[in-house]
Structure 1
Amino acid sequence: MKKCLLLEKADVMITDNEDIVGSIRITEEKYQTQFIVPTSLYYRFTLKNICNESAFCSNLHNVKLTIEPDKTLLEVINKAFGLNIYDTDKNKFGWNQIVKEISPKEISEFSLVYILGEKQNNVIFPPLPLKEALQAIKYNALNATLIVSQDIKEIARFKLDSNKNNIITLDK
């Protein structure tokens, strides 16, 4: 696929809004079921297809979005968690992506969600880092590059830090 994507906008927020990050059903001792809404780092990307053919048509399961943090963001993440949450092979907390087909000359939103932890103790998620650590993560979250791959082949790369004015916060 030719390089047919333009990054129109990049937003990031730390949120525990169930409508945005969803919830996870867990069953603890004595079969007590509860739904947990983890606090998550949520990236939203607005991409435009500038080509005359659809992007990702029928191959959505082969599309992967990856955040490559710069040195500062990686230091902040490692300090808060002791690991790189952006390394999806080693991420112990969980992550998710939402990708869509983009028709020719159209715009679509994509998202990446990285679980940061939970306010209440539970058997699934670690406790949230301190408020100061979350603020540092939010402030530095766009010091990174978005990589779009299809069939393990990189098809686009976007520096996010030029969009720092798009940092938004919900629920915090």
Structure 2
Amino acid sequence: MELKNVYPVKVNLLPAQLTVKKTPNWVRLFFMVLLISLSVLYAFSFLMLSDKVFLARTQTEELRSRVEVLRREEQKLRNVEERVAALEKRLDLLQSLVGAEPDWLRVFEAIGNSLPEDVYLERFRASQGEMRLEGKAFSIFSIAQLISTLSNYEDLFREVDLESLSLEESLYKFTLKAGLVEKSAS
């Protein structure tokens, strides 16, 4: 029978003193460990930085969308401010127009309170700070009393004067002219 060797066997016949002991190459081992650790560190840093870059890009996109929303809101606010400014201009115009007008309710109340019993008015006209009253009376004294009473309302009328007087069928037809005092702007 023949002996078959499946595994190659190495036999060293040199005496143990002459055999060279294999020692590890520490320099090569150190550089290999250093290379592997630097590669792992590089891979870890790459993964961490790529994750940070992804988060930064996501945040940048969110901020851009917020900026766009804020720009639209700012435009809406500008439009509202323009409308408010236009309304304020209209309000100022209306206040100036109303402020220039006399207090008509007080004017008519003063005229009504000043009319003697035998005087009646036919026409009232007002234009640009003055008014004209046309009416008829039974006596000149009633017209004088009306002028005197209206003159007492200094906060409403200035310079109440008799503009015309005529006698028609036992009635005195008269026209009074009075300057209107403008309201003070409040």
TM-score by length of 1: 0.24
Structure with more contact order per residue of length (Cα contacts < 8 Å, sep ≥ 6): 1
TM-score by length of 2: 0.22
Structure number with larger C-alpha Rg: 2
